[in-house]
Amino acid sequence: MRRLLLLALALGLVATSLQAAQYSALPDETPAHFVAPTQGMDFEKRDVMIPMRDGAKLHTVILVPKGARHAAMLLTRTPYSASAMASRAASGSLEMVLAGYDNAADIIVQDGYIRVLQDIRGKYASEGDFVMNRPLRGPQNPTPVDESTDTWDTIDWLVKNVPESNGKVGTLGISYDGFEPLMALVNPHPALKVSVPMNPMVDGWRGDDWFHNGAFRQTMLAYILDHQSVRGEGDGWFTNDFDDYASYLSGGSAGDIARAHGMDQLGFWRKIVAHPAYDAFWQDQALDKILAGQPLKVPTMLVHSLWDQEDIYGAMAVYKAIKPKDTGNDKVFLVIGPWHHGQEIGDASSLGAIKFGSDTGLSFRQDVLRPFLARYLKDDAPKVDIAPVTAYQTGTNRWQKLKSWPGCEGACERPLYLGAGSSLSFVEPKDKGSDQYVSDPAKPVPFVPRPVHASGDPWRHWLTTDQRMFSDRTDVLTFTTDVLDAPVAIAGSPVAHLVASTSGTDSDWVVKLIDVYPGQVAAQPEMGGFQLMVAGDIFRGRYRQGLDKPAPIPANTPQEYTFALPTANHVFLPGHRIMVQVQSSWFPLYDRNPQTYVDNIFNAKPADYRRATQTVWHGPGGESRIDLPVVPLGAKAKR
């Protein structure tokens, strides 16, 4: 029986081998390397792997316009797939290929630049390890490589291996892709002639993607999961609710929500949980602080969006850090536009319900970015005077060309006082008083009307959402001026000075500066009574004594909370009113403060979340106010 079984097994193996041999005799119909035809295409595409100094190779797509000679190269390094950026349309036209995804594709193609797109280390087709916002070599990065060295090595290879180039390279990008041009400024390659960081990630704790003044932006959990769970783009985030508000509320703390999605497996998430305060981990990576200590070698144009829902802090922080070194006023340029995150590369004639009367994005690209790039990258470009600051003033809806920013430095600050009877005035109150509300973590204030969708179009323009529905909530305090009989122009960062107490031992404070439109607007009737948030931000109360020094708040004891709101360049017109709203949650964009002090809010338990009575004080000895950077509407000195 044993012999029969062995014989059967042997015959089966022979039959299998014969079948395999018969199948393999059929030729493979897929070529080992398919050569795509180029007839009818106005560019040549080259896929290369560029070696870095540690041996890792980074996937790079080079798009060379047909007939290019002595052309400059524009480089974008990205975690979002170089291949995807170079294949957005089935077309032989380079502009069609890049349109809808690339940064300023129209002027890149029209001016004949060689386009270079690269997957950063550890993403998509590039080798190496991915580290979110990989820090510079130093305390937070013991390896010999970082984004600065990878950019240097890439540029060095490009100028030696792209014969159609003139040896000049510029780098540009938005968001994470905008973080990369800033990293390139650390020990820049000699061939790097210009850098354009647009809406860049700069300081993830102070006011960009991950935190704002210590309050965690928990809707970024999906982003972290997508980008760290796989080398490409993941799809691991799931929800069983149509309304993100309900989904996050039922999930518990931000830590509980992350654990439910398996995020404890992700290195960057573990770092966030381990560093909830502004400690050395975050301070060492703050690019504004890093660049303040670097020589100013490369002309840089920083692009900031007034309603940037993702990175509203970074561009202005870098400008403030490096502009003082620009003694010749010819190395650091600033553009401020009326845009959401990245809107400057697309149609920007409106933002939500706000209309500007012209395509402000097109104006930026054609009138500012185009001559700026040409000035430093083209061999034969005439020198064009570009204003040190190009700023769009909302309210009047006009572009300004300025010598510096902001228009107001300290002496122009004008206090706007919160007062009794929900009043708001430039006149200091004579009587001391207070207003109260109850903040309930079980019913947090939404950041947009429900149902909440923290993605897509609602997310892109949420900062211009009508604030009327929040004015009527009992857990939001509202203070309003009389109707203005003269315009009030502000240019800079309003600063909130909130004197407040809580019955709890921790609290968040949200302050919103709002332009209230007249009851009727003839040119746009639907804007009648609209409440437009001009600037607003959140502050986690435990950090009032120092951003790296969390401490419980003494219950029922007034404390002063001082924090800057995002940059504004706005005119409150006659017939409008100015409003300030104060609240203690902004959900689910920011995680809920339990209002009971715990060492780490990521690990807060259900019993820690408690209602608290919040008191905002005003009048002598306890003036809650907003210091507005007021400038003359027709000022000439800075223009």
Question: CA 258, CA 267: separation in Å to the nearest integer?
Answer: 13
Rg (CA), the chain: 28
The full DSSP string for 180-236 is HHHHTTSS--TTEEEEEEES----TTTTSSSEETTEEBGGGHHHHHHHHSSSS----
Q: Which CATH number fits domain 211-281: 2.30.140.10, 3.40.50.1000, 3.40.50.2300, 1.10.3020.10?
A: 1.10.3020.10
Residues 6+ apart with CB under 8 A from 538: 212, 213, 215, 508, 509, 510, 586, 590
Q: Are strands 350-351 and 354-355 parallel, antiparallel or unpaired?
A: antiparallel
Is 577 within 8 Å of 499 (Cβ atoms)?
no
In this prediction the pTM is 0.93
CATH number of 413-631: 2.60.120.260
Max Cα separation, the chain? 109
pLDDT for the residue 605: 98
- What residues does CATH 2.60.120.260 cover in the chain? 413-631
Question: CA 376, CA 381: separation in Å to the nearest integer?
Answer: 8
Question: CA 513, CA 579: separation in Å to the nearest integer?
Answer: 6
Question: CA 276, CA 205: separation in Å to the nearest integer?
Answer: 9
pLDDT for the residue 26: 81
Is 128 within 8 Å of 58 (Cβ atoms)?
yes
Is 282 within 8 Å of 205 (Cβ atoms)?
yes
Question: CA 599, CA 626: separation in Å to the nearest integer?
Answer: 31
Q: What tens digit of pLDDT does each residue of 572-629 get? A: 999 999 999 999 999 999 999 999 999 999 999 999 999 999 999 998 888 999 999 9
Triad 285, 459, 589: Cα angle to 5°: 60
3-state secondary structure of 408: coil
End-to-end CA distance of the chain: 101
What b/e string do you get for 167-195 counting C-beta neighbours within 10 Å, with b at 16 or more?
bbbbbbbbbbbbbbbbbbbbebbebbbbb
In the chain, count of helices (H) and strands (E)?
A: 17, 27
Place of tokens 């990175």: 311
Task: Copy the structure tokens of residue 470.
Answer: 């929040």
Domain 43-205+282-402 is of which CATH architecture?
3-Layer(aba) Sandwich (3.40)
With a cut of 50, which residues of the chain have pLDDT below it?
635-639
Give residue 51's identity as a one-letter amino acid code.
P
C-alpha torsion 300→301→305→308, nearest 10? -30
- What residues does CATH 3.40.50.1820 cover in the chain? 43-205+282-402
Q: What sign does the CA torsion over 380, 386, 392, 398 have?
A: negative
Question: CA 249, CA 232: separation in Å to the nearest integer?
Answer: 30
Q: What tens digit of pLDDT does each residue of 305-356 get? A: 999 999 999 999 999 999 999 999 999 999 999 999 999 999 999 999 999 9
- What residues does CATH 1.10.3020.10 cover in the chain? 211-281
Query: How many beta carbons lie within 10 A of that of residue 95, not counting itself?
Result: 16
Q: Are strands 165-174 and 192-198 parallel, antiparallel or unpaired?
A: parallel
